[in-house]
Amino acid sequence: MKTEIPPQVRERTIAKARTLVEALPFMREHWGRVVVVKYGGAAMERAGLSRSFAEDVALLQHAGIHPVIVHGGGPQVTEVAGRLGIETSFVDGLRVTDEATLEVATMVLAGALNTRIVGMLVAGDVPAVGLSGVDGGLIVAVRQTEPDLGFVGRVERVQAEVLHTLIDEGFVPVVASIAADATGQPYNVNADVVAAELAIALEAEKLVYMNDVPGVIGPNGDLLSELGVGDVLELLAQPGTVEGGMIPKLESAVRALRAGVGRVHLLDGRVEHSLVLELFTPEGVGTMITPDASPAEEPAGAEG
């Protein structure tokens, strides 16, 4: 005797199947490619969102994608410095890092915070391994001089062999944004810049920034869902249009795209499963930045 499937169950089941089928082209597109994710903001602080992020990373890996996670942790460094009685100061929104602040940043970023993120990912069935830019000589930095903010570095070069080794063995690297120069002197480095430089060195398909904003907001207050490099440069040239932490993200996005990274995405980490929604659905949930089309790529009849 044949048993009928209740209509509501059948509809729900078919809807799930359609969702999986719709995601298949996007999974095929990213198969075997590296996706670098700068992880920060609310997604890093709230337990529920942290679990959601771990599930997203697990799905990426099971879909044949190679995720590499980069994190900073400015608010956490400020909090710990305050508890230790160390004053925090900024110049044009950038942290001044004296010797005491560098010790705190190293302890928080390459120690407690990196361990916490790795533990969260491992608990979500992701074989994560924590390291900083110092490990294996991954990131060689030099002191930033314009402006001089103390022990703040800029990336001079990336030696990505350690990441390739981990990826080839099935691990997910989680990189804290501390690097050292040729003498071994450590520096605090902007995590957005680190993410872009790693994406370039790894020839990543995508670079994703997860933070506490929906994406790039235009002059009229609306979310800009897709931009080209030229559009980004125009926004950066307009005083007051882009401010604070969005500036290094967009500057790094332009550098990454010009160096061959396929796409850059800026996501709201407060949205549950925002990483999967952006990469595996046609609509996406944030801002996607693409390279400007070359003349050969423009459609027939295009002006200019």
- In whole numbers, what is the pLDDT of the chain averaged over residues? 87
Q: What integer pLDDT is reported at residue 295 of this predicted model? A: 38
Q: Quick check: 294 pLDDT over 50?
A: no
- Cβ atoms of 44 and 212 within 8 Å: the answer is no
Q: Quick check: 93 pLDDT over 70?
A: no
pLDDT band at 243 (very low <50, low <70, confident <90, very high): confident
pLDDT band at 18 (very low <50, low <70, confident <90, very high): low
- Which secondary structure element, helix H or strand E, spans residue 255, and what is its range? helix 246-258
Distance CA 179, CA 177 (A): 6
- Cβ atoms of 95 and 64 within 8 Å: the answer is no
Q: What is the mean pLDDT of residues 115-139?
A: 96
Return the top range by mean pLDDT from 50-54, 171-175, 209-213: 171-175
Q: Quick check: 304 pLDDT over 50?
A: no
Q: Quick check: 154 pLDDT over 90?
A: yes
Token pair 């996406």 in the structure block, residue:
284
Q: Quick check: 151 pLDDT over 60?
A: yes
Distance CA 222, CA 155 (A): 33
Q: Quick check: 100 pLDDT over 90?
A: yes
